[in-house]
Amino acid sequence: MIDIVNSIITKVTIDNFPILIKRDDLLNKDFSGNKARKFYYFFKNDFPHINTIISYGSNQSNAMYSLSVLAKLKGWNFIYYTYHISSQLQKYPNGNYKEALANGMQLIVDENFDLTKLILQKDQLFIDEGGAIQEAAYGIKILADELKQYVQQNNIKKLEVFLPSGTGTTALFLQKYLDHKVITTPCVGDKEYLKKQFYILEHNIQYHPTILKPEKKFHFGKLYKQNYKIWQNIKKNTNIEFDLLYDPIGWQVFLKYLKYNYKPTTTYIYIHQGGLLGNVTMQERYIYKYGEDI
């Protein structure tokens, strides 16, 4: 039986800052990270009228893989729409794409896919791209409760929680259910995009996390040597592998924040949101662009 509660917390030191890492990447070998938290509602509850999940997004999406696991666990079909897939990836599947196919995903490639024209049947469950849905609050509240318990057990007076964001769903619901400061940074769009995403799911802005802007604009999915370098350095210093897409941006912003705002009386925790399957593809792309000595 799979369950995804009580991920461990690891203590590390980076740039002389003591930091706690909430290891949601270790929740379960198949169903982990923030996507497992987001989709936990569907895992834990019964839906006797549902036999198919439908979603859409990129062909290496973490959400795509996690939904394929969810569908397999529930005995459901999984139909996933994507706008494009390269002939190279089709010929040599890897990462999230490969594992999602192995879990039985039915992939539909449609460069003209229009969400507004999607017609659902009564036995089909639609989950929006990246898991930006109200039901995500169910699993993220459990994460918040775990952090509250840790704070109480360790007599922590002040806690600040940091995590990078795509849609910002995890950060939003964490702030809603946690009586401590939640800080995030946009990795997909900009600060205004993230604010809009927050407002779609929660109108009450007192529940919105603090947003820190990266010092430069990173185009989503584009390869930046500085991102790879910080990813390598964090892995070397902590012996923990992080996601190569979101976490390099997250760590740059977080460490700069600590440089100017660190207080010894505050406990700082970074949420490891998993997503490591995508690293295979990302590393191949980095090596292809910059060479083996990157």
* Fold agreement (9-29+136-290, 36-131): yes
Mean per-residue pLDDT, 243-262:
97
Q: What is d(CA 134, CA 143) in angstroms, rounded to the nearest whole number?
A: 15
**Chain centroid offset of residue 21 CA:** 15
Where does the chain show beta strands of DSSP type E? 9-14, 17-23, 52-56, 77-82, 106-109, 124-126, 159-165, 181-186, 210-211, 267-272
Q: 36-131 — its CATH code?
A: 3.40.50.1100
- Tell me which of 32-36, 183-187, 257-261 is least confident: 32-36
Confidence of residue 28 (pLDDT cuts 50, 70, 90): confident
Q: What is d(CA 222, CA 88) in angstroms, rounded to the nearest whole number?
A: 18
Mean per-residue pLDDT, 220-227:
93
Q: What is d(CA 214, CA 205) in angstroms, rounded to the nearest whole number?
A: 22
Residue appearing with tokens 């959400």: 63
At residue 214, what is the residue type?
P
Mean per-residue pLDDT, 68-96:
95
At residue 126, what is the residue type?
F
Predicted local confidence at residue 23, as pLDDT? 97
Instruction: Pull the structure tokens for residue 155.
Output: 């007599």
Q: What are 140-151's pLDDT values in tens digits?
A: 999 999 999 999
Alpha helices in 206-269 (DSSP H): 225-238, 247-261
- CATH class, 9-29+136-290 region: alpha beta
Question: Percentage of the chain surpassing pLDDT 70?
Answer: 98
Confidence of residue 281 (pLDDT cuts 50, 70, 90): confident
pTM, two decimal places: 0.95
Q: At a CB cut-off of 8 Å and minimum separation 6, what does 202 contact?
A: 172, 173, 176, 208
Confidence of residue 1 (pLDDT cuts 50, 70, 90): low
Mean pLDDT of the chain: 95
Where are the domains positioned within the chain?
Answer: 9-29+136-290, 36-131
